Amino acid sequence: MSYATQPLVRPGYEFRSDPEFPHAPPDWQREDAEAMAREEGLRMTDMHWRVVRALQEFYARHDDPAINVRELHDALDEHFHAEGGIRRLYALFPKGPVAQGCRIAGLEPPPGAQDRGFGSVV
């Protein structure tokens, strides 16, 4: 089964308490995320996991089901500014730090994060 076809959690769902990923969606497992990343050609590093945690925390703090893609993009850029910002995140997630990062984090990418015809936008 392809991980790309698994249903993703929408914002507003109850998040579980996990010491490493306290804002992870209830059905999300690190092992599944690693398998999905391998399927997408990524080798997860500490920096990848930091992005996953940041995305999960952003979704947990924004209970609005309509997450704004630009707001999330800018929040990631600001959060990781010292490490190179959004440019560095594109090097980590070549299919887009928002689109690909959300999928690996078990979150539904916000509307506008993906262009079905051309691949990831952000």
22 within some domain: yes
Q: 23 or 121: whose pLDDT is higher?
A: 23
119 within some domain: no
The neighbour count for residue 66, using CB atoms within 10 Å, is 10
Mean pLDDT of 79-91: 96
Distance of CA 115 to the CA centre of its chain: 16
The confidence score (pLDDT) of residue 72 equals 95
Contact 69, 94 (CB under 8 A): no
User: What is the value of pTM for the model shown?
Assistant: 0.80
* pLDDT > 90 in the chain, percent: 64
The confidence score (pLDDT) of residue 28 equals 93
* Number of domains observed in the structure of the chain: 1
108 within some domain: yes
The whole domain housing 61 covers 9-112
120 within some domain: no
52 burial (CB, 10 Å; 0-12 / 13-18 / 19+) is buried
The confidence score (pLDDT) of residue 117 equals 52
62 within some domain: yes
Q: 101 or 113: whose pLDDT is higher?
A: 101
What's the mean per-residue pLDDT of the chain? 84
29 within some domain: yes
76 within some domain: yes
The neighbour count for residue 114, using CB atoms within 10 Å, is 21
Q: Please, which pLDDT band fits residue 97 given cuts at 50, 70 and 90?
A: very high
Q: Please, which pLDDT band fits residue 121 given cuts at 50, 70 and 90?
A: low
Residue 41 has pLDDT above 70, yes or no: yes
117 within some domain: no
76 burial (CB, 10 Å; 0-12 / 13-18 / 19+) is buried
